[in-house]
Structure 1
């Protein structure tokens, strides 16, 4: 497996490819994203272990969107069955994805546990939906310290798991090695990921402004607040779906195509250009 080093401007290309690919199959990709979020929300309702199960499903949900994006890029229609793609590619990959999910849940809950040392668990309860965020809580210095600590610690956790689902699924890399290769790839392509992050920040800010203006105009026209709120939620979900659609392109350009081995590779591998090349 070869790591590709790409120029910083590639980050903006990833943003554009994500948006362009989403609009090839907007209904299918938006529906799949909604189903992944709904599945994780339902998992949180499991007594005692619900939040941990939902966290463990995140790598599989990310992989589902990556595979769906690859399908759309290759001119195929991504179906809802891709939601289960992590669970139908052989026992070894299934086991590895389950391990990956468990590691992510442990890592995230560990971060929440460390933040609880600063504020007694207020931030963790708010973030996990167990408490309501009030003005008094938000202005509490200990709550703010716990929030910043969580954000600081979540960055390396995110980098560890950014490419890991794709490495397990398409390259057959064991979970721990996948985490190592993922963070190395992110660090080596740091410039591209900075541009990528700034690009999506701009998209979300612009999209939020447009949705807010549309909602305000509808309110002036006499539509109910619930309608305006639904538009804002729908717009946010659509932009989030576009973001997850772009993840596969960061993976595609960071690693060379998997070599053909005796092990049968999944047929839905991400599209690879002959070389990253100038963009």
Structure 2
């Protein structure tokens, strides 16, 4: 008898280092459509998950000194739970609120390590940008003239911001597929982040389009007193899962039709 699939023995978890596929930039629209479809299949459960997720991040962020570090380390764990929720929907299993915490039961240590790398990457990005920006300001100071100092300060701030933005984008691309690869492919954390970075750059056009669309959606979600964020969070979780399936997986990006949606 075939053993039922679980997150640890997933049907497509045997290949831990799959080669990412190349897709067209238009696929970013398919991913977002899939994210919306996953949300609409169980909107009540997804809204509950989204609210708990938001509240947890907010409360943890209030913890003095270490709160922000705990948020960054715990973020991949909660994201992986939502990914497992999408995976359950895609495989015809019910979505539950406790899917948000499923990452604690499956590869919690590796997911936490992804969060640690995320935290360290953010600190390094901040440190490098400050050093480069400060170096530009110091150059202006060495020139001696006030004009040189002012130019150095302005150029230092601009250069530091550019360097930080570039490093932060690299960090986000390394993080994008990391959680799905860990929980669905049993990929080691550092390998998962390297594979994610490679996959995003291999599909540069698609992720540029996706990044622009997400940026616009964030501003739209903030308009109704920020309540749209509760919808945007699960939509982005579904978008992440769909993009993973399109590039690394063996299932269609869009969730299978249900009796309720088949007639639409």
Shared fold, TM over 0.5: yes
Q: How does 1:56-205 map to 2 (within 5 A)?
A: 56-89=73-106, 93-117=107-131, 146-204=160-218
- Higher mean displacement: 154-163 or 72-81: 72-81
User: Which residue of 239, 248, 251 maps to 1:246?
Assistant: 239
Q: Secondary structure at the match of 1:192?
A: helix
Looking at structure 2, the residues matched to 83 and 97 of structure 1 have their Cα atoms a distance apart, in angstroms, of 13
Give 1:18's aligned residue: 35
Aligned 8 A contact 1:14 1:249 in 2: yes
Give a deviation string over 1:2-22, Cα, whole Å, max 9, x none: 322222221111111112221
2:252 maps to what in 1? Answer: 273
Distance 1:109 1:237, change over 3 A: farther
Instruction: Give the CA deviation at 1:43.
Output: 2.1
- CA displacement 1:9-44 (0-9 Å, x = unmatched): 211111111122212222221221221222222223
Deviation, 1:67, is 1.9
How many residue pairs were aligned? 217
Cα distance per residue 1:148-206 (max 9 Å; x no partner): 4332211000111111111111111111111111111111122222232334345456x
Q: How far apart are 1:65 and its partner, in Å?
A: 2.1
Residues 197-246 of structure 1: CA distance to partner in whole angstroms, max 9, x if unpaired?
334345456x35xx75xxxxxxxxxxxxxxxxxx3210233234322331
From the CA coordinates, give the structure whose radius of gyration is larger. 2
Instruction: Provide structure 1 residue ranges, at least 5 long, that are not aligned to the other structure.
Output: 121-139, 213-230, 258-271, 275-279
Contact 1:15–1:200 under 8 Å retained in 2: no
Structure 1 length normalisation: TM-score?
Answer: 0.68
Q: Is the 8 A contact 1:40 1:54 kept in 2?
A: yes
Query: Secondary structure of 1:48's partner?
Result: coil
RMSD: 2.7
Conservation of the 8 A alpha-carbon contact between 2:77 and 2:108: no
Give the match for residue 133 of structure 1.
none
Structure 1 residue ranges, 4+ long, deviating more than 6 angstroms after superposition: none
Q: Out of 229, 236, 250, which is 2:229 matched to?
A: 236
For the residues of structure 2 that align with 1:254 and 1:108, how far apart are their CA atoms? 26
Cα deviation for residue 88 of structure 1 reads 0.6
Paired residues of 1:118 and 1:142 also in contact (CA < 8 A): yes
Cα distance change of structure 1 residues 191 and 44 upon mapping to structure 2, 3 Å threshold: same
* Aligned counterparts of 1:186 and 1:252: Cα–Cα separation in 2: 13
Residue in structure 1 matched with residue 139 of structure 2 by the alignment? none
Q: TM-score with structure 2 length normalisation? A: 0.71
